[in-house]
Structure 1
Amino acid sequence: MQQSIIIKGARQHNLKNIDLVLPRNKIIVITGPSGSGKSSLAMDTIFAEAHRRYLQSLPIELRTIFDQIQKPDVDLIEGLSPAVSVDQKTISKSPRSTVGTITEIYDYLRLLYAKIGTPYCFICGKELISQDIHKMTASILSLPEGTRIQVLAPVVIEKKGEHREIIERAKAEGFIRARIDGKLVELTQNISLKKNIRHTIELVVDRIIIKEKYKNQIKRALELAIKYTQTVVVNIVDKNKDIIFSSTLACPTCGVSLPEIDPRLFSFNSKYGACPRCRGLGYENIEEEEEIDVLTLTPCKLCRGTRLRQEALAIKINEKNIAELSAISIDELKNFLSELKISSHESLIAERILKEIFIKLEFLQKIGVGYLSLNRPAFSLSGGEAQRIRLATQLGSHLSGVLYVLDEPSIGLHPRDCLKLIDSMKELSMRGNTLIVVEHDEKTIMNADLIVELGPGGGRQGGYLTVVSAPEKLIRNKNSITAQYLNNSSKIAIPKERRKSSEFIKIIGAEAYNLKNIDVKIPLGVFVCVTGVAGSGKSTLIFEVLYKALIKKLYNTNVLPGKHKTIEGIEKIDKVVYIDQSPIGRTSRSTPATYTQVMNEIRELFAMLPDARVRGYTKSRFSFNLSGGRCEDCQGEGVKKIKMHLLPDVYVVCDSCKGKRYNEETLQIKYKNKNISEILEMTVSEALEFFSAVPKLRHKLQVMEDIGLGYITLGQPATTLSGGEAQRVKLSKELSKKPTGKTLYILDEPTTGLHMVDIERLLNILQRLVEMGNTVIVIEHDLDIVKCADYIIDLGPEGGTDGGYIVAEGTPEEVAMNPKSYTGKFLREKLGL
């Protein structure tokens, strides 16, 4: 196999026709300022070409679709392996997706409970025993006289297939009717079931009216049903209510029976196991199909957020049901399973299942997410957490010869935990895999085998190869911007003095999730950093408790804040702004221009042009979201989505408008010789110069430039923005508004995606906000941000159940000297103490 990946003439996006040779089976870090072309090289050129070649290997009948996928703008790439992209955005955001389902650990737990779980009555709590025919008959006869029932034998339960053989056999054995997927059908009909949908088939054994004289008929019906299945369903016709009887499991006191215990019973994605109220979603007010508003989520009143039906929750191992195990941290789960008290017979059954679970749990611990629980919804994970979970899954797959492309895997990691991540990447490399990592973290850069630095700036000023070298040589390279920060020839200055405050917001008795009933004092009018290892309770304290309580009070919302006694001092602020890394939109219709309302100003400008007024064009003509001016073939998106079913969706450029979004008539209107599509293709920096004479536009664009977004294009689809870029777009929108001087800004890891040179620009913006009298709270791990704070609140000491305490608080110097603080240990070195 070729020993190198050879790239010649890469021109994707802003790349300047670069040539590059990358060694295989090594860790290669691509770094450089924001917009310098890192993702263009790693994701949009190398991975995109590997992905395109994979698609071409699929069946010939799909080739017409794949022919529409554009080849990256590169002359030649040789030596590519099968590639896996491990980025911040590819994890499922479905409400049905959890840490347990993503890692497949929950699948193994379901199998474990099905094999060695002990069933209990969900009413009285007693252990269940088998029911005989006499007990079943007596229970049925206890129904009111005259009740009409159907005795059903479930022969297929939630299984895919057409099931023709089963239906034909039932007809041959004399059955006339069946209940299929909840509907009663005559077996004499032509029954055609869809192959790829799960079906339930219950044969109607007999129809009986409850009377003592029909006792023997009931008994015979039960005996016949049990020949086909261990579980008998008695349907009360008038109420359409089912009673389940089991020949193996029943409560001697309550008469409660459980259905057949198999792994599907514990699946909240199956009708067989899901809570009937929330259908396995765990919440009252969401669908799969909808965008999730985390602020208004309410746990299901029936299952209390466990997602499962009561019968599944009644099966336990060592007195814990599967939902209880899913709710504890990965670290606690590993300890619980290590100390299982089960019989020698059960040990033989469980041995292989437990082995697989332990392997997966250990990999999750290795990459620093041991504080997460299996029931944590995928939509609530940060980009960094999602990426590290996928990385752990890859570690557990034991593949070799794979090209892994990672996009800032260190996001959200405390400096203490970065070494765990680096060790995991080295392990993948040692197995014969190649890792291309887009990264700014100092430790990751210094532990790579090769550094590729792009620059020297972003956007049009980026895309050049500035350095290709080993880490030890990089530090001495005078052409490297990264080296200047690594060798301290350039560095972010520590403030000469820390601001003091006489006013505070006080959170009293915070105990949401893992917070340990803590009281927290947050100074106002200063720059505050909240620090701590991953899972220590930072987001819980600031988002779940403080932010939700503030918007409930200030804006009278229906949000339910995390558990706490009270918050004092809310009257001292008049506005709260929370800026996270969630997307600014879910489709290509949302762009930086539309989100920041720059597009609104541009449309108004175009509508005022003489040519537009002559034709009667209003501002709506220049919207790609409205009929009239847009291309109707792609409905203004510029691209068309091709559903790939088992593979991620693929987007191809619209044939009609060639990606311009608008129809020909609209594109004929020009401002300074540019049509509206050409303006959307401009970078923020270019647009700032182009619209320098338009005050409203100039102000909004200047803020975006100041915050380090000069390299992104105005019309860049929201789906292509990283979490950090989306966050900075949101911040720029807020900064363009008139500040009140009493606003509280909350930012969650704003350094995501920023090179050291860009962090300085961000700091200047944040400090400017504080100088206006506002309060800025930042949840952050980057020590260059932390060292510049006026006040630090350090949580920990660990993640999960061992977190949730205040470890240290005060100025960076005070926290640095606290021996209990992990943050303080790294801060001491950064402050030179």
Structure 2
Amino acid sequence: MDVDQLILKGVKQNNLKNIDLNVPLHQAVIITGPSGSGKSSLAFETIHAEGQRRYMQSLSTYARQFLEKFKAPLADNILNIPPTVALEQINPVRNSRATVGTSTEINDYLRLLFEKIGTPYCAACGVPMITVSYADEFTRLCRDYSQKTILIGFEHTIVKDAESRKTFLEDMLRSGYSRVIIDEAVQTLESLLTQKRLPKSPWIFVVDRLKLPSSSESSQLTRFTESMKNAIGLGRGMAQLLIEKDGKYQTLSSFTPLTHCPKCHVVTGAKKAISFSFNSPLGACETCKGFGNTLEVDEQLVVPDVRLSLSQGAIDPFTKPSLRHWQKKLLEFCKTEKIDIDLPYKDLSLEARTKVFKGHKKFNGVKGVFDLLNEEKYKMRIRVFVSRYVSPFECTSCHGSRLNTTALSVKVSDKNLAQLFEMTVGELLVFFQSLKLSKKEAAICEDILQQLNRRLTTLNTVGLGYLTLARQTRTLSGGEYQRILLGTQLSQGLTDTLYVLDEPSIGLHPQDTQKLLSVLNNLKDQGNTLVIVEHDPEVIEWGDFIVDMGPGSGSKGGSLMFSGTRKQFLSHPGYTAKAVRDWREECRDSLLRKVPPCPTEWLDVQGASGNNLKNIDVKIPLSSLVAVTGVSGSGKSTLIVDTVYQALSKLFLGKSDKIAKFESMSGFEHLSAVELVDQSPIGKSSRSNPLTFIKGYDEVRSLFAQTPDAQRKKFGPGHFSFNVASGRCETCEGEGRVKIDMVFMEDVWVTCPTCDGKRFKKSVLAIRYRNRNIDDILKMTIDEAYEFFIGITSLRTKLALLREVGLGYLQLGQPGFSLSGGEAQRLKIARELNQATSTSGSTLFILDEPTTGLHFHEISKLIGVLRRLVSTGHSVIVIEHNLQLICAADYLIDLGPDGGSGGGTVVAVGTPKELAQKKLPQTGKYLFEILYQS
């Protein structure tokens, strides 16, 4: 048996057809093939699942109870499998406390760095704080006041209550403190106890009287230290030093061993790493509790449609039954203040809107009404109601930094933690490489700086140099999150581990792909095995061993088409190998095709300055296929999604999310609608599936209701819906599975024992259409359904569109939550294509990386679909890195030149051929290589 190979025998997981495969260890293994051909089934559900399962079995029973259970994959035998780590294209983080800094552990090292060498500053006056030891203070006194007598004491405020005061003074006297300084004069406690009226001036109790020697090496240092500690203990952390002058005792200085401000004597606690964490009460901002924002009433949510007037119910919460009386008060207030209640809200003056929103005189205003509601937020219905109209706004105390004043007052090289958090990874790398430290500081934090530089360098190398540490992890794309995990894994230094990666090149510009490959090489060189599911031809050409799955998708896939070395693969006659060899030629043909005529209608955006955009002007041709390109973080999504889409959505729909800043927009009059086709899931429950999403299930239910058996039993279309009680299984309520509450563990879903996962009652399942029941139909693939529903034109038209976008392998009833981001996006494309062909007007379609998860021939199909949209009078903008689609575009807008603060400008515009001929960076450089190099 070859111990240098992972041996798989008779693998039958999902659609895999009893395949045998030997995979070399300590190499980069690329698994490629069409969507649904079994790549993920092989890589994740077989190799990763078995590697994890066997590793778990090696742990103790106690440890295993806290870990996720992995089912053994369907295979005859799997040999020589090392422990596995999966890095998937899914971002599971939903917690707003998680940031890039916390996810990469960079924040942990920054906190250690600030603990070790951070300089605290006074928050009140900005002076660097100091820490003075007892020995240093004694040396100073001996130097400045040699042979003079000083008093060591502590200040105490005397209470007004006579009985409490007497008790305190008697206690002090019994403890051996007999003298006190009041108004620079010495008085005894015995005499003070006999006085009825006591001085109100501060009292300084004398702890010790000490004659200072001429040398600090004196044995008096021990006595001085003990007396100072006693004074500090009784004086709430502060001791007083006094000296006699002209018969009076004057204060020399106050002393504390704690870090303090020499100017205003403010004391701060000892620096601890935990006190620099916004996830700890010790470091978190007191106002926002470390979230960086607070929930405030959002005017955009309160007034979702600015076209409405106040009298028409522009203030949405006031239209609800529970707050309708406030609508009456609002209109009465507007009448008093002479605010036009029939004018659209968007046309009201700023002063009028401020009065309505914040209140004026006797009217509470919208915000005041919500303040009243918050007094009853212990009620569930109030909390739910208020949540509809609030949004997170930057905390006014910490200004979004999440940290409290004490943590922000500590600096390294004149930078506090918040300033470092707001730097990009690339900027931080430069900061630490140029950081100047003393020899002592350098020795203290040598290991910390090594770890910081290693992690930052890795993140920068995988194309994430534009991210800031403050960026919330939940806002990252699946590809960005995967690369963060990749960078973290490289920093761990694991060996003899099998890493399974899902399309790590997604979201990467060709320039960044080369950097990614160097990181993967480093991971491999540490003695690890890489199994990578990939479609990018450059990554496939880089791999050591290639596995090609196919030939088709779903039931037509699952076969091993090829496995062998890179050299063997590139000479193989298979479709995928041919596509890898010829992809540059195909791109070259696209570049040299006949250029469409210059558009006459343009969407003109002026002064776009959201996020990192640098006040740019962009003209986007309409009735064209436009690709917006650039390196990761260059501002593509900010320009197209946050600016163009949100502004047009507000214009056409009257509502939108937050719109990025821009000065003006023109040309929108040529459009009638805007649609964003992203990769968000089509649904979170098993009730959402491809058939329901394209509005095809109604037709299927009607067909079953029209059968003789259904009409005899008086079954209507509702009986064939898993959302209606009349026909669905009542045990699982049409889910096909039931949830078992595991109390202290994660809930478990099991197949419904009543309907055996078929969702419907037996009487409904007995009804057949062309010898198939409703469960059989839902288990059909789209390809099978297309052939089955011959003669049902409207349904076949919808199914044809799904096949056209490469989804023929999906089951009609496949739950929406199980679809990948790319599959969900293509479902949306098919739906929009169906609607676009049946509606008039010109719609602007915006797609964010539609080639995600697509094989070469599937990308060609997608290009054809997008061209159909353009040919019917619509406009398409794609944010894309795939050169196959970029070359096929009519017009390119290239942003850059770098990511983050180094991006945000328009680098080049024009047709793909124009950018290639001029070799314009960054994208043009790669187009030039395709056009002119073999």
Q: Give your verdict on TM over 0.5.
A: yes
Structure 2 residue 429 is the aligned partner of structure 1 residue 334: yes
Distance in 1, matches of 2:646 and 2:36, equals 34
Residue 440 of structure 2 corresponds to: 345
State the match for 1:423 in structure 2: 518
1-structure distance, mates of 2:925, 2:869: 29
1:591 Cα shift?
3.2
Match of 1:16 in 2: 17
Does 1:436 find its partner at 2:547? Answer: no
Q: Does the 8 A contact of 1:70 with 1:652 survive in 2? A: no
Structure 2 Cα separation of the partners of residues 519 and 652 of structure 1: 55
Alignment of 1:330-409 (within 5 A): 330-409=425-504
Q: How does 1:122-133 map to 2 (within 5 A)?
A: 122-128=123-129
SS of residue matched to 1:25: coil
**What is the CA–CA distance in structure 2 between the aligned matches of 1:219 and 1:773, rounded to whole Å?**
92
Q: Which has the higher helix share?
A: 2
| 1:657-696 matched pairs, under 5 angstroms | 657-662=755-760, 664=762, 666-696=764-794
Q: Structure 1 residues 801, 230: closer, same or farther in 2, change over 3 A?
A: farther
Structure-2 residue corresponding to 1:829 = 929
SS state of the match for residue 445, structure 2?
helix
Q: 1:561 aligns with which of 653, 656, 659?
A: 659
- Tell me how far 1:409 sits from its aligned partner: 0.5
C-alpha distance in 2, partners of 1:568/1:505?
Answer: 6
| Equivalent residue in structure 2 for 1:592, among 677, 687, 690 | 690
* Runs (5+) with no aligned partner, structure 1: 147-210, 233-245
Q: Is the 8 A contact 2:292 2:398 kept in 1?
A: yes
Task: Check whether the contact 1:741–1:772 (CA below 8 A) recurs between aligned residues.
Answer: no
Give me the TM-score of the superposition, normalised by structure 2.
0.72
Tell me what 1:540 maps to. 638
Partner of 2:113: 112
Farther off after superposition, 578-587 or 371-380? 578-587
1:230–1:247 CA contact under 8 A, matched in 2:
no
| Alignment correspondent of 1:27 | 28
- CA drift at 1:395: 0.8
Q: Distance in 2 between matches of 1:342 and 1:139?
A: 42
Note if 1:515 corresponds to 2:516: no
Match of 2:623 among 515, 520, 525: 525
1:112 counterpart letter in structure 2 = L
Confirm or deny that 1:504 pairs with 2:602.
yes
Aligned partner of 2:316 in structure 1 is none
Q: Give the % identical residues.
A: 43
Counterpart of 1:304 in structure 2 is 399
CA apart distance, 1:744: 0.8
Q: CA deviation at 1:561?
A: 1.6
Letter in 2 for 1:568: S
| Maintained 8 Å contact 1:577/1:745 | yes
The SS at the match of 1:506 is strand
Contact 1:634 1:654 in 2 (8 A): no
Cα–Cα, structure 1 residues 102 and 630, in superposed 2: closer, same or farther, change >3 Å?
farther
The match for 1:806 is 906
Aligned AA (1:282):
G
| Equivalence for 1:413 | 508
1:769 to 869, 872, 888: 869
What is the one-letter code of the residue matched to 1:54?
A: Y
**Which residue matches 1:88?**
89
Structure 1 partner of 2:735: 636
Distance 1:516 1:710, change over 3 A: same
Q: CA deviation at 1:129?
A: 5.6
1:69–1:651 contact (8 Å) kept in structure 2: no
User: How far apart are residue 107 of structure 1 and its match?
Assistant: 1.2
**1:486 matched to which residue of 2?**
581
1:307-326 correspondence to structure 2 within 5 Å: 307-326=402-421
Which residue does 2:555 correspond to in 1? Answer: 460
Show CA shifts across 1:471-523 (max 9, x none).
22223222333324523698465242224211111111122222222111111
1:272 maps to 2:272 = no
Q: Distance in 2 between matches of 1:272 and 1:813?
A: 58
**Which entry has the higher C-alpha Rg, 1 or 2?**
2
Structure-2 residue corresponding to 1:193: none
Alignment check: 8 A CA contact 1:296 1:558 kept: no
- Counterparts of 1:770 and 1:139, CA distance in 2: 83
- Distance in 2 between the 1:124 and 1:611 partners? 87
Partner of 2:308: none
Distance of 1:497 and 1:219 partners within structure 2: 94
- For the residue of structure 2 that corresponds to 1:808, the secondary structure is strand
Contact kept? 1:112, 1:353, Cα under 8 Å = yes
Q: Residues 786 and 305 (structure 1 numbering): CA distance in 2 closer, same or farther, change over 3 Å?
A: same
Q: Could you say if the C-alpha distance between residues 800 and 261 of structure 1 is closer, same or farther in structure 2, counting changes exceeding 3 Å?
A: same
SS of 2:8's partner is: strand
SS in 2 for 1:787: helix
In 1: Cα distance, 2:82 partner to 2:62 partner: 24
Give the Cα separation in 2 of the matches to 1:694 and 1:276: 64
Structure 2 unaligned blocks of 5 or more: 134-150, 162-197, 208-228, 239-255, 297-382
- The 8 Å contact of residues 736 and 755 in structure 2, kept in 1 or not, is answered as no
Aligned to 1:720: 818
1:474 is paired with a residue whose SS is: helix
How many corresponding residue pairs? 748
- Structure 2: distance between partners of 1:81 and 1:323: 41
Q: Could you say if the C-alpha distance between residues 714 and 797 of structure 1 is closer, same or farther in structure 2, counting changes exceeding 3 Å?
A: same
**Structure 1 residue 622 displacement after superposition:** 4.4
For 1:698, the equivalent position in structure 2 comes to 796
Rounded Cα–Cα distance in structure 2 between residues aligned with 1:623 and 1:219:
88
Task: Find the aligned partners of 1:775 and 1:762 in 2 and give their Cα distance.
Answer: 15
Q: How big is each residue's C-alpha offset from its partner over 1:422-453, in whole Å with a ceiling of 9 and x where there is no partner? A: 12222222222111111111111111111111
Code of the residue aligned with 1:572 in structure 2: it is: H
Query: Which residue of the partner structure matches residue 447 of structure 1?
Result: 542
Q: Is the contact made by 1:622 and 1:630 (CA closer than 8 Å) also made in structure 2?
A: no
SS of equivalent to 2:643: helix
What secondary structure sits across from 1:826 in the alignment? helix
Alignment partner of 1:750 out of 832, 850, 857: 850
Aligned equivalents of 2:699 and 2:594: distance in 1? 41
Aligned to 2:859: 759
State the alpha-carbon separation in 1 of the partners of residues 738 and 71 from structure 2.
12
What residue in structure 2 maps to residue 207 of structure 1? none
* Cα distance in 2 for residues equivalent to 1:661 and 1:380: 36
SS in 2 for 1:47: helix
* Equivalent position to 1:794, from 882, 889, 894: 894
SS of equivalent residue, structure 2 residue 918? coil
Distance verdict in 2 for CA 1:430–1:340, change over 3 Å:
closer
Contact 2:896 2:904 in 1 (8 A): yes
Aligned with 1:74: secondary structure?
coil
Contact 1:137/1:215 (8 A) holds in 2: no
- Go from structure 1 to structure 2 and tell me whether the alpha carbon gap of 1:511 and 1:49 turns closer, same or farther (over 3 Å shift): same
Displacement, 1:224? 10
Deviations 1:766-798 (A, max 9, x none): 001011111101111111111111110111112
Q: Does the C-alpha gap of structure 1 residues 299 and 580 become closer, same or farther in structure 2, counting only changes over 3 Å?
A: farther
How far residue 456 of structure 1 moved from its aligned partner, in angstroms, is: 1.4
**1:269 Cα deviation after fit:** 2.2
Summarize the Cα distance change of 1:562–1:99 in structure 2 as closer, same or farther, 3 Å threshold. Answer: same
Aligned residues of 1:455 and 1:465 also touching (Cα < 8 A):
yes
Query: Residue type of the partner of 1:811?
Result: T
Q: Which letter maps to 2:645?
A: Y
2:424–2:468 CA contact under 8 A, matched in 1: yes
Distance in structure 2 (CA, Å) of the matches to 1:673 and 1:320? 74
Task: Give me the whole-angstrom Cα distance separating, in 1, the residues matched to 2:911 and 2:786.
Answer: 38
Residue type of the partner of 2:284? Answer: A
Native 8 Å contact 1:69 1:652 kept in 2: no
Further displaced range: 383-392 or 666-675: 666-675
Q: Return the letter of the residue paired with 1:404.
A: Y
Relative distance call for 1:259 and 1:616 in structure 2 (3 A) is farther
